[in-house]
C-alpha cells in the first residue's frame, strides 16, 4: 500500500515541542522519496537558513509534532492592480 502525504515544497511548519517564547519556523526545501521507504522532507529554518534538518513526512504530517502554518497558495502575494 502506498501512503500519501500532503507535505509539499515551500510549506511552512512550526515544531510544537519547541520553545514557546520564540518557536522556529521551518520551510520545506525539498522532499526525498526515491531511496527511502518513507518520504523525508529537508527543512530549512526561516530565520537561519544554515540550520537544516531532515524529518520523515509521516512525522511532519503528525500534528502532535508539527503544525502547518499557512498555505503557500493562500499566502502568495497577489499582483498589484
Pull the grid cell for residue 40: 523525508
pLDDT tens-digit readout, 50-79: 999 999 999 998 988 999 997 654 444 334
Q: Is 49 part of a structural domain of the chain? A: yes
- For residue 18, what are the contacts with CB-CB under 8 A and spacing of at least 6? 24
* Residue 5 banded pLDDT, cuts 50, 70, 90: low
Condensed to tens digits (0 to 9), the pLDDT of residues 6-39 reads 889 999 999 887 666 677 899 999 998 877 788 9
Is the CB of residue 71 less than 8 Å from the CB of residue 13? no
- H helices of the chain, where? 57-60
Task: Identify the residue with better confidence: 70 or 44.
Answer: 44
Cβ contact 32:40 at 8 Å:
yes
Domain residues for 29?
12-68
Write down the pLDDT at residue 21: 67
Domain count, the chain: 1
Q: Is 51 inside any structural domain? A: yes
Is 41 contained in some domain? yes
Integer Cα distance of 21 and 29 in angstroms: 25
In a domain, 22, yes or no: yes
What residue has cell string 499566502? 75
Amino acid at each position: 500500500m502506498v501512503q500519501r502525504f500532503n507535505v509539499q515544497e515551500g510549506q511552512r511548519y512550526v515544531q510544537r515541542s519547541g520553545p514557546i517564547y520564540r518557536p522556529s519556523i521551518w520551510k520545506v526545501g525539498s522532499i526525498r522519496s526515491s531511496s527511502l521507504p518513507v518520504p523525508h522532507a529537508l527543512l530549512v529554518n526561516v530565520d537561519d537558513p544554515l540550520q537544516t534538518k531532515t524529518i520523515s513526512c509521516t512525522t511532519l504530517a503528525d500534528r502532535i509534532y508539527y503544525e502547518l502554518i499557512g498555505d503557500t497558495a493562500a499566502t502568495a502575494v497577489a499582483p498589484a492592480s
